[in-house]
Amino acid sequence: MSAASTKALVLDFGGVISRTLFETHDLSEAALGLAPGTLTWRGPFAPETDALWQAMQADHITEREYWMARTQSVGRLVGEEWNDMQTFVQRARGADVEAVIRPEAVAAVHRAKAAGCKLAVLSNELDLFYGASFRERLPLLQLFDVIIDATYTGILKPDRRAYEMCADALGVAAADCVFVDDQSRNVLGAIQLGWKTVQFDVTDPATSYARALALLDI
C-alpha cells in the first residue's frame, strides 16, 4: 500500500473497542457489591425500557448528560456521591482492563495494522470516562498512530473539526478514512466530510468489524 493511497481505520472507543457498560452489568454489580439484577438500564439493547436513552437519541440530552445521570444513580446505590464518569468506570471495570475489550476489536486492529493501514481512536471521552491509567494499561492502544480525545481537545463529535483534526494528524485524505462509531449522529458527521463509515451495531460486533475491513479492502 503506497503512501499516497494509505487508508485509515478510525474507531470510537466506548462501545466499539470496549464493551458497553450495558453489556457488563454483571461485572459492575460484582465489583460494586450489588445484588445481581440491580442494574436494569439497557440502552440500545432495550431502548423501550430506557427513557433516558430515548431522550439522548432524540437529542434532548447529550451523551455526557446520559452517562452523568447513570453515574450519579449508581453512586447512590453504593451510598456515595459520584460526580464524574471516571469514578463509575474505574470502580466498575478498572481492575481488569482486558476483560472489557471486544475480541472482535483486537482482531480487526491487528488485521488493519498488518495490511498497512493507519489506526486512530476518535473519542469524545476516552480519558474523561476511563482515566489515563486505564489507557496506559491497555496494550492494544499502543498500536494506534493517533488518539484524538475530546477530554483534551474540547471538540466533540459530530463537530466537523474533530474529524478534520483526526485526518490531518493521520496524514490521510477524508476519502481514505473508514470510521466506526455506535452513535448515528457521529456517523453522519463523518459522512458529511466524505468519510466511509460503519454504524457499529453493539448487538453484532463481528458483522460491524467485517464491514469496516471490507471498506478497507482487507
Do residues 87 and 14 share a domain? no
The enclosing H or E element of 148 equals strand 146-149
The CATH number of the domain where 177 resides is what? 3.40.50.1000
Domain end position, chosen among 65, 97, 129: 97
Nearest one of 127, 168, 122, 170 to 148, comparing CA atoms: 122
pLDDT of residue 1 exceeding 80, the answer is no
Predicted TM-score of the model (pTM): 0.89
Among 53, 78, 97, the domain-final residue is 97
Question: Are residues 149 and 186 part of one domain?
Answer: yes
Instruction: Please give the residue range of the domain that contains residue 52.
Output: 21-97
pLDDT at residue 123, rounded to an integer:
97
Q: How confident is the model at residue 130 (pLDDT cuts 50, 70, 90)?
A: confident
**Same-domain pairing of 32 and 53:** yes
Asked if pLDDT for residue 4 goes beyond 60, the answer is no
pLDDT tens digit sequence for 149-204: 999 999 999 999 999 999 999 999 999 999 999 999 999 999 999 999 999 999 99
Nearest CA to 15 out of 102, 82, 80, 73 is that of 102
Which residue, of 56, 77, 97, is where some domain finishes?
Answer: 97
> Per-residue pLDDT averaged across 52-59, rounded?
93
Same domain, yes or no, for 79 and 186?
Answer: no
Q: How many domains does the chain have?
A: 2
Phi, psi (degrees; rounded to nearest 5) at 90: -65, -40
83 plus 131 within the same structural domain:
no
172 and 126 within one domain: yes
Give me the pLDDT at residue 3, please.
45
3-state secondary structure of 121: strand
Q: What is the pLDDT of residue 2?
A: 44
Q: Which of 117, 121, 119 lies closest to 12, judged by CA?
A: 121
